[in-house]
Amino acid sequence: MIIEKYTDAAGFIRVLWRTQAGNDLLFKFRDDPTTQQLEAEEAKWVSANEFIDTASISFNLTDDGASLIKIVMQIRNNPNLTLTQYNNYLGTVPWYEAATIRYFIYSIGTKLAARNDIQLAGLTEAQFLSQVRNFIVNTPLRKLARLIFGNLDAFN
């Protein structure tokens, strides 16, 4: 419904319109709008803002800390871990845990590459795993805890 309608200094017709949900919208037209035009503009606005009040899902990879700590410790305890052994291990855990671990290893690798701690150019999956594995094995545990989980005591 129209709350207010006026012509501004530039000659445009301004309409303050209240939606059925109680939102006030200000529209600008060159010519006097019809009710159908205003309802069409309201429908466009409602469609564009349909999900504006939907809360986002907050998640953090480290929410699955137990699985991630377990894979880091397994890599540290097996410094010669091969891609085959890694994939065999992933086959023993539930699919969602395997997906989390795969993404975790990928994330570590890309973040380490961004820090120039490892090189990724032209690597195969086995070479990529090898680079990440070597970093995990050769980095002090407390430093890994700080880098990955943000605190020094994650592995205690």
In residues, how long is the chain? 156
Query: pLDDT category, 145, cuts 50, 70, 90?
Result: confident
Query: pLDDT category, 133, cuts 50, 70, 90?
Result: very high
* Per-residue pLDDT reduced to its tens digit, 57-71: 555 655 667 778 888
* Per-residue pLDDT reduced to its tens digit, 44-55: 888 887 766 666
Distance CA 13, CA 45 (A): 18
Side by side, the strands of the sheet bearing 24-29 are 2-7, 13-18, 24-29
> Are the C-beta atoms of 133 and 79 separated by less than 8 Å?
yes
**Which residue shows structure tokens 């907050």?**
58
* 91 has a pLDDT exceeding 90: yes
Q: Quote the pTM value.
A: 0.59
Query: pLDDT category, 87, cuts 50, 70, 90?
Result: very high
> Are the C-beta atoms of 24 and 18 separated by less than 8 Å?
yes
Alpha helix ranges (H) inside the chain: 35-48, 65-77, 83-90, 95-114, 125-138, 141-149
> Are the C-beta atoms of 102 and 85 separated by less than 8 Å?
no
Average pLDDT of the chain to the nearest whole number? 85
pLDDT for the residue 31: 93
Q: Give the DSSP letter of residue 49.
A: T
* Per-residue pLDDT reduced to its tens digit, 73-85: 889 999 999 999 9
> Are the C-beta atoms of 30 and 13 separated by less than 8 Å?
yes
Q: Which helix (H) or strand (E) holds 22?
A: none
Distance CA 101, CA 88 (A): 13
